[in-house]
A and B are shown apart, each in its own frame.
Chain A
Amino acid sequence: MVIGGSLGKKLVRDLLRAKASFGAAILVVLLGVTLFGASYASYKNLLRSYLYSYDVLHFADFVSTIAGADDGLPDRVAGLPGAARVETRLVGDLSAVSPDGEISGVVARVISVPAPEHPAVNDVTVYAGEYLDGTPGEVLLESSFAEYHDIAAGDTLQVVSAGVVVDLRVRGLVRTAEYMLPAKSKQDVMPQPKIFAILYADYATTAGLLQEAEPYNQVAVELAAGADMETVVAALRERVGPGVIAGTVGQEDQPSNAALKLDLEGLREMARAFPMLFFAAAAITLVILLGRMVRAQTPLVGLMRAVGYGPRAVLWHYTGFGLVIGVAGALIGSVAGFLLGGLVTGAYTGFVNVPFVKIEPEWTGVVGGTVGAIVVCATAGLLPAWRASRIRPADAMRGDAGTATGWSVRIGASWPAAPRIAVRNILRNRMRSLWTALGIAMAAILVVISVAFLDTTNHMIDWEFEVAMPHDAQVTFSGPVGTEIVDEVRALPGVARVEPVVQLPVELVTVGERYATLLVGLPEDGQLWNLFDGQENRIALGEGLLVADALRVRLGVEVGDEIEVATPGYVARLPIAGFVQQMMGSNAYLALPALQERVGIGDLVTGLLVRSEAGQERQVAKALERLPETAFVSTTDGFREMIDELMRLFYGFVGMMILFAVLLAFVVVFNTVTVSVMERRRELATMRMIGAGMGRVAAIVTIENLGIAIVGTAGGIAAGMAMASPAVQLFNSDSFSFGKAVVAPVTLAALTVGLLVVVLVSALPGIRYVSRMELADVARERAT
């Protein structure tokens, strides 16, 4: 009944007659299904690739940081109960010389591996050159830094060890499970291929470079099947002795994996949320489109009923429009989504250097998107179709003269004709006005939320670098250093301000939850690392502990609660004095003197924050790297440059999002306004018949549409602003947190103007149609 017979022909021809409107509706469905298919396929392919790579390379289920280990550690942890494989290793960070010599602040992480055999846990796969054979001074270089700087096997890389530049030969290039995303730490998950190099060297080379007091500082464990991590960690604690384990990071919290998981979750959320937005927009468009079609075809509905078609036939006929749109959009969209999914996965796996990529056809996404689109469209079509089927035949034959009642018909009695007619038209058919305003509001909400991601991120980055962390370089020492270093650095040429800092790896422990992070001690009167709450009010350091806001939920703590802060040789319970809005990572903070006193490190510090005089940043960074106490130097310039480069990727992603939103907004607004004008073309032509010029008709239509558009835009912006913060914060984690969403006033102004322009442009086809209409045809059209 939907496709066959005369009603089927009518359906197809009605669709073709309004092909622009229905085509736009199909486009919206198509985009929704494409996005769903692509993001779902990408999600599944990435998950499959990650898990396969983890499996093949024996990615550690947990890594414990060891303090005070001796040479006997490997023997003690061998055969650990519940562990399938164990690897003891030495890991440390050094400053490296940028291969192009143009930037400072490059950090090299050196990790010991056995040679010539591969490590039992956290293995690497060599894709260029060869694995290590024990030759001193040779390293394996992780792919992201190598590819960024175009380094090949056989090239030389320079690092700074104890103030001395050392040449290292790159024997091979590798991909790893541990650094698929080259994230420095959980507190610093932003991939930094430009300024963060990961090197694998044999034990002797590693020890020589790092010059650590202890031979090993990490134990990486792959669990046996069915083993429980907590139990195995307890067994490890027993093997290595009390107070030796400084912290344990499970696979879930491992920086690269956590960041990838965050991306995967983002993809999964996108696979869910974005198609929902598109389907909702398609549903609204269809309800408006079909509702108005039913209204325009009311006499035909009456005819169908008079001739002998039952309500069910009418219901099926008008539901058929939604069904056809759903099927058309779903079929094209599922093919596009399928193809796009492969492309996105390929691009993404290239970006994150997945060792082994597994792409398989994802039929669940294709079927799910197709079924979802068809169900949504058919359901959207059902509402107007049901209304059509409920029209009493005699009423349908009479037609509809509108619902002018009450005060609305008298409003503006003293106004000029154009605004009077426009306003009365808005009020005369309130449902039509409401649906049009709703369509415009929906478009505004979509754009505001999309733009909020961009504006909020930009605002946060500016805030982070210019207000929260206004230093140019951060020095991390190989070990604790006396405060005389502050004066020593202050005396270096080009240094404007120096502040000491202590950063200790700690575990924050609450009932049933342990969280490995950094405890940061900052001077109470410091200016180079400032702390703020979610409302961007500055928070002063005191006796109590300040904790990143993201940990409020993660650890289930509130202000005033006491929390255990544990590090080897030190365990204390400290009250939480407040929560800090922190963009990246989730640290704990204490006033420097309080931290030094409580941990018992006297006036020792672990690093410095340095601000340079204008134009002296690079020279100062180089001088800092050459200090014998320095392990590595991170520079704000290098980091900001890196962030800006990464942001280009993000801008691309958000740009696509905004493009989709704008496209969607255009379709929704175009459809609602076009239909609104087209369905009244007879009325408008009648105005012309009785002598109104096209100018007046256009003025009436414009005032009416602008009136509705202003209400819709204002409502949409208000709703979008209210929804923006919860929307961006959906992506929050303890590694990356969005604060309150920000939408720049200029963005809102551009959005408002843009929407109003779309509304005006959308009215043009109808106005042109009316202006070109042969007035004599008006009567004929009425007759048919």
Chain B
Amino acid sequence: MKLTFPRFGDSNIYGRLLFRELGVDFVVPAPNSAEGLERGAARAPEDICLPFKLMIDNLLSAWEQGADTVIMPATMGPCRLGEYGELLAVTMRKQGCDFRWILLDSISAIGVKELVHRLAQAVEDSLCSKRQIFRVLRKTYTLIKEFEKLEAEVRRLSPYDKTAGSSKAVLRTCRRALEQAEELSEAINIVRQSKKELHSLPRDMSKRPLRLLVTGEIYTQIEAFANHYIEDTLMDLGVSFEKNISIGWWVRNTVLNPFGGMLAEAKKNPLMPHRIGGYAKETINEALRCKKEGFDGILQLFPVGCMPEIVAKSVFDGLAKDEGLPVLSIVYDEMGGEAGYLTRIEAFIDMLERKRDMENVLSGDRCRIGKHGFCCNGR
């Protein structure tokens, strides 16, 4: 058996170290690229969303490298995402790639027994004892958690850098080192080292950057290629932001602590009382939280045709009007041009800065305001 998995975010780092340590034979698909997207789009069903097209290319690339089994997360539900794994299996078979599939569904959909059974298939070739397997899994999760914490801190702290871009550089170096790491313990140490490095950077905490919340469809948020590296863009524009949906969040919510997920689901949400599939409810919950926690605005990311997020977007339109909560929805597909995205994001940030500075003036803050409301202290 030769295992593979689609690429999203840093799945290549985690997957590589995990299967290496388990002693399972595996291949990592080539990274997402424009050429890959073309190849995936040519084989995808019409009107399917961006993540699907990218994953087709990932799996083609893995098949070419000799993979025969795919392990990937899936989410059952009324949205077409619920059939995602099955649709992908059919599409790949048509391309002559007859994979064996290990689909990791939520416990609420398939039950604990079935999930364990499926997970066991992935490690059937491993020589490790049960105990060792659990230890490796736990270490992998620790790595995910630690690295995501580092990412979160970089997102929050980068605008305070005395030398612009230094926090971003720490994250980049850390990621490069993780790609080269030999084993999980080494990787965890690299992350901890990077965190120390990040904390020792000179900062100017008197700056007052905007605080944004990035939310939306899960794949688009996690995979930088799918969102045109929006995190880099935001860091370059000097805003502080938070992004809570991640691989670690998925693992926590679906596998480790499904009870927490169920509890969150049972909580009242006046704007969306039912689950409609995908992560629409989560997106809206995030937005409501954002209002309470004093963020300046929300960026909602999703691929063209993503039903749950389209529904969430129309809820946002109402939120924007009633609560004065600014939301910018950014829709991604095959289009590679950056100018349009950058214009929208830049204009959104300009608008929020002006808005905040005006409020400061009204409340007697000594912020210098240009004639058109732009803060002259900033950019």
- Decide whether A and B assemble into one complex: no
